[in-house]
Structure 1
Amino acid sequence: MNIRSYYLLLIIFLGCMSFAREAIPRLEIIEIDKGVFLHKSYSQVEGWGLVSANGLVVVNDHKAFIVDTPWSDRDTEKLVDWIRSKSYELLGSISTHSHDDRTAGIKWLNNHSIPTYATTLTNNILRDKGKAQARNSLEGNENALANGLLEVFYPGGGHTIDNVVVWLPKHQILFGGCFVRSRETEGLGYIGEAHIDKWPASAEKLLTNYSNAKIVVPGHGAVGDVELLRHTKYLAVKASSKAEKSIAKVLSE
């Protein structure tokens, strides 16, 4: 290969790398209710392609709280910069389970002395995976943060064993995270760590507790209302029934 061909290939390679980086859309921040902002970040996920992830910034009296970090340090920094550009005091963040689309920014937040929260179960999973843990651990099935601005509830296993949801009583908004499926989905998404047998009963708890939710935010996809909880339960029951039939078939052979 002559030197000219080498440099041509190098330029093409660097150009492809640049395109790959640019292919990830920018962080989006959209107000969905007064003082409640949806942040949406993106990542290329093997087997799934380009995937968006939802989180929230909840603001009250010029104090802000993040529900789930964006999917990268870069977007976490951008989100914090946006919060500070509004002159909001950032009180901390809560991560709703251990996957990267919820926790990728924990290390960055810790390094910048911003309080981070997760359940003890989530922190234990992060520790076992060698990942950064939230500095504060929540015990029990129900917790309040920011003087009751956010209420954290553990419904039981579903998408993961450690998934929690966040209720905003002032706004009647439920952040369901990856436990809740968007209306356009026809399946449960990634189930590599799911507890499908528990998911229907856990979904019923959400329907019982948050039937008055005016907005429901799934971990991925479009925002909806309480119908998302019914849709999630339907998908979980369907998947659970299939699993039971498969087990019964194996046992009968």
Structure 2
Amino acid sequence: MEVSAIAPGIYRHVSYGRLPNIGYYPSNGLVLVHDASAYIIDTPWQVADTRKLAQWIADQGWTLKASISTHYHDDRASGIAWLNAQGVDTWASAQTNELLASQGDALAKHTFSGEGQWLWSEQAYAWYPGGGHTADNIVVWLPQAKVLMGGCLVRAMQTQSMGNTRDAVMSEWGDSALRVLDRFEDAQFVVPGHGDVGGPELLMHTADLAEAVNREIVDDE
């Protein structure tokens, strides 16, 4: 696992999961720091790396207060059970908790429903734009630094595919990305679930990729 600063008080953590026929594959998450309190946006892929990240936070002299997961897959939510056991406030949308429950996975302690939710003294805003990579994917806006955690709704510029579409809502994905672009058009940094950090152009790139896939689906029909 690697941690690096991308903006004042905002750190990207990169962890790895093993995928069939691919090998180890990197996954992005964030740590937000405010007044010596730390908040994790998407836990690392492996539980062991969530423990390492929590230790790194403690080593900086910060107190880990809470986390939020942007959807229910392991690369976003595998650390929830361990964080719950440490007394950390875990957050997810009500839809994400329902999907975690359907798999028998640990649930976040706190949920929200509806379109959006301010968190942690309005340091972060969780927003649901519609389906995409999954039915429950949300984004998290960090207004002080103008950083948007797009999660797996957002594709990196270096990729020309939609990645894992097993649980995707392809009919909504492109429109969801454009809604995020419209809502957070002043974002300076956009963090995809996997790959390099970019700007708002990642959202248009995602919408273009989704449109191409949907055209292929129509043509095949």
2:115 aligns with 141
2:42 aligns with 68
2:6 aligns with 32
Partner SS for 1:237: helix
| Runs of 4+ off more than 4 Å | none
2:218 aligns with 244
Question: Are 2:143 and 1:165 aligned?
Answer: no
Compare CA radii of gyration and give the structure with the larger one: 1
1:109 aligns with 83
2:67 is aligned with what amino acid?
Answer: S
1:93 is aligned with what amino acid?
Answer: S
**Aligned length, in residue pairs:** 221
Give 1:90 deviation, angstroms: 1.4
1:204 aligns with 178
The higher relative CO (CA closer than 8 Å, separation ≥ 6) is in 2
RMSD after superposition: 0.8
Task: Note the 1:90-239 alignment, pairs <5 A.
Answer: 90-239=64-213
Structure 2: tracts of 5 or more residues without a match: none
Partner SS for 1:197: helix
TM-score, normalisation: structure 1:
0.86
TM-score, normalisation: structure 2:
0.98
Contact 1:182–1:220 at 8 Å: present in 2 too?
Answer: yes
Structure 1: tracts of 5 or more residues without a match: 1-26, 248-253
Partner deviation per Cα, 1:18-41 (whole Å, 9 max, x = no partner): xxxxxxxxx100000111000000
Give 1:200 deviation, angstroms: 1.4
Give 1:50 deviation, angstroms: 1.3
Give 1:72 deviation, angstroms: 1.3
1:202 is aligned with what amino acid?
Answer: S
Contact 1:91–1:146 at 8 Å: present in 2 too?
Answer: no
2:78 is aligned with what amino acid?
Answer: A
1:86 aligns with 60
Partner SS for 2:44: coil
Q: Greater share of strand residues, 1 or 2?
A: 2
Contact 1:178–1:218 at 8 Å: present in 2 too?
Answer: yes
